[in-house]
Amino acid sequence: MDPSGLWILLRTISKQRRQAYGEMVDFQFVSVQATPDKTSDKAAKRLARSHAVKQALQRKRQLQQKSMQHFSVRTIDDEWKQTGRNCKGQCDKRLTSSPASLSASLLDPFQSLAVDSKRLQVLLNDFNARQAPEPVFSVEDDFQNFESVFRSGLVDPALLNAVMLSLAFTANGGVMNKECLVYRGQAIQHIREKISTPDKAVSESTIGAILLLVGVEARLGTTSQVQLHMGAIQYLLNACEPVVVTLTQGIKRAIFWQDLNSSIMVGSKRIVDHTTFTELQWQRDLIAPDFFELPPGFKVRSHLFSQEFLDIVRDIHALQCIRNIYQRTGRPVSTVNINSHTASIQSRLQALPNTCPISKACHLAAYMCSVMLCCKVWCALVIPSNVTAQLLREVEKIRDEPTGLYAQVTPYFCVRRVSKDPANTVRRLIQTRY
């Protein structure tokens, strides 16, 4: 073989490999058994390049499947660092694979679904759209991922259309367009067909499809539709009792969180709480009893609050201690336990009676504290903005309350000196923080 021809061939292969990986990687030499004049033939070069790139992609896919690196796990610190790098104008290339590029192949590995795979990929490339299926399942995080919630893939047409609806609705800025209406109509049609067949009605895919519809309706603010869909979930849960139907832990968590989030957002009636499913039940850790105590600001004002609320504040303080230890020492923390801990806090807060605007504001502020501490999976898209908007409305209602009383019952906001207009002070703090 002509040495110059071999050099051109290998250089071309290397270039193709760099384009496939986004960085330089090791490659193997491709031996070409041919006469010198055939080696210079363009068709032979093209065949060699195609073979090399194909082998490279197959090897990359095998390594990803072997290591189970289908998702890129990111912490809040990682996001802050990434934001800082973006602000400085740096465009450092990430060493880990893009979660969106892998998620499309995970949901539709053989491109056999009844949707446009290219459209699915475009939607998964949108950061906000990737958060849309939460809390039913998570696209990026290992906890509550698709496989842990659903035992099968996206073969169920109801679930498939509900997933596409959730992604498209969020990518479109929370507005229902023609594409969303088509997905919603098809999802509802397939759900009705499933429910009309009792033997096939109770399944994770059917429940998951309904929960995704609930998420969209909650963002639209249609309380009646949310309650209609959650009523269907209640019907399916009741259908599980006479027959032995074992649901995954993931779908039970999805039911709990979607029910709670919808209640927070649109005021729908809840069908479950933190005691409904044994998998979500949580108890205080007796190993660290010092964590479950009132912060100093609450100790001096404890007479202003109910005992139930103070117990929740103790649990929030413990959650903060656990979070701080994890961040400081890097010690492993059970995500399931943290999620159940947070579920207990938020479920009990939502069940507390709101006797006045001040008490409701305190409950919302405590809810927001628990969300921002450790509840990353469930709050990335909608919950913080919704809760803070409600909190601001409650603050506006108590504008005429005595300034001293208002300062006493709002220790969450860390107002060090009494303001002449406490509502404006809290509003500025909310806008700055969130």
Q: Which of 19, 46, 67 is the last residue in one of the domains? A: 67
Domain co-membership, 420 together with 308: yes
C-beta separation of 130 from 103 below 8 A: yes
CA angle 151, 186, 173 (to 5 degrees): 90
Average pLDDT, 10 consecutive residues per value, the chain (434 residues) = 48 48 46 53 71 73 54 44 44 36 51 73 86 87 85 83 94 93 95 82 89 95 95 88 76 94 94 91 78 84 88 91 79 82 93 87 90 63 84 81 50 39 48 45
Residue 281 domain flag: no
Domain co-membership, 143 together with 176: yes
**Measured distance CA(261)–CA(264) in Å, rounded:** 5
Domain co-membership, 321 together with 420: yes
Give the pLDDT score at 424.
53
Residue 121 domain flag: yes
Would the CA dihedral through 325, 330, 336, 342 be positive or negative?
A: positive
Residue 306 domain flag: yes
Residue 422 domain flag: yes
Domain co-membership, 407 together with 338: yes
Nearest to 344 by CA among 384, 285, 288, 396: 285
Domain co-membership, 244 together with 330: no
Domain co-membership, 240 together with 381: no
Domain co-membership, 335 together with 381: yes
Domain co-membership, 295 together with 256: no
Residue 82 domain flag: no
Burial of 369 (0-12, 13-18, 19+ CB in 10 A): middle
Residue 44 domain flag: yes
State the total domains in the chain.
3
Give the pLDDT score at 175.
92
Domain co-membership, 128 together with 236: yes
Domain co-membership, 315 together with 404: yes
Give the pLDDT score at 191.
93
Domain range enclosing 334 = 289-433
Region of 87 (left: φ > 0; alpha: ψ -120 to 50; beta: rest) is alpha
Residue 274 domain flag: no
Residue 393 domain flag: yes
Give the pLDDT score at 267.
92
Distance between first and last Cα of the chain: 66
Cα distances (angstroms) measured from residue 386 to each of 40, 254, 365, 407? 65, 19, 12, 24
Domain co-membership, 131 together with 223: yes
Give the pLDDT score at 270.
95
Burial of 13 (0-12, 13-18, 19+ CB in 10 A): buried
Domain co-membership, 138 together with 177: yes
